[in-house]
């Protein structure tokens, strides 16, 4: 059973460009979380999605950031008009269950390291 897949592993963008980060959850998992890790910081929650629904986006910056998890295909975290402060590692995690999700382990992908020049 393949783990959580993220691509690309490394992404370089110039200021003002768009960044698209992809996450394929583990097979059978329908819950996806995105976290951001800034240098010397722990991971910060950004958004929680289920298939075709955003459940909680309280950690998402109000502008330029969006996320989706379509019925088919990977979850996408999109950052428009990137700025240097967006440089970070972005991690996706997935979990298998519903209302009792907090009992369960979240399985993390290897992350995408975004560098904004």
Q: Does 109 bind another protein (CB under 8 A)?
A: yes
Q: Which of 11, 33, 60, 77 binds another protein (CB under 8 A)?
A: 33
Residue 17: CB atoms within 10 Å: 14
Q: Mark 73-92 with x for binding to another protein (rule: CB under 8 A) and - for no binding.
A: ------------------x-
The answer to whether 44 contacts another protein (rule: CB under 8 A) is yes
10 Å Cβ neighbour count for 64? 15
- Asked whether position 27 contacts another protein by CB under 8 A, the answer is no
The CA-atom distances, in angstroms, between 9 and each of 81, 95, 99, 110, 112 are 20, 21, 31, 7, 4
Does residue 68 belong to the site contacting another protein (CB under 8 A)?
no
Q: Which phi and psi angles does 84 have, rounded to 5°?
A: -60, -35
Cβ closer to another protein: 7 or 17? Answer: 7
């Amino acid at each position: 059973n393949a783990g959580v897949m993220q691509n690309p592993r490394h992404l370089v963008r110039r200021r003002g460009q768009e960044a698209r980060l992809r996450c394929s959850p583990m097979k059978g998992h329908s819950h996806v979380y995105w976290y951001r890790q800034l240098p010397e910081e722990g991971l910060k929650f950004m958004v929680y999605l289920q298939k075709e629904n955003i459940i909680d986006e309280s950690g998402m910056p109000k502008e330029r950031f969006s996320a989706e998890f379509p019925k088919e295909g990977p979850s996408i975290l999109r950052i428009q008009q990137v700025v240097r402060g967006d440089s970070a590692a972005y991690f996706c995690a997935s979990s298998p269950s519903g209302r009792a999700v907090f009992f369960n382990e979240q399985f993390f992908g290897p992350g995408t390291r975004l560098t904004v020049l």
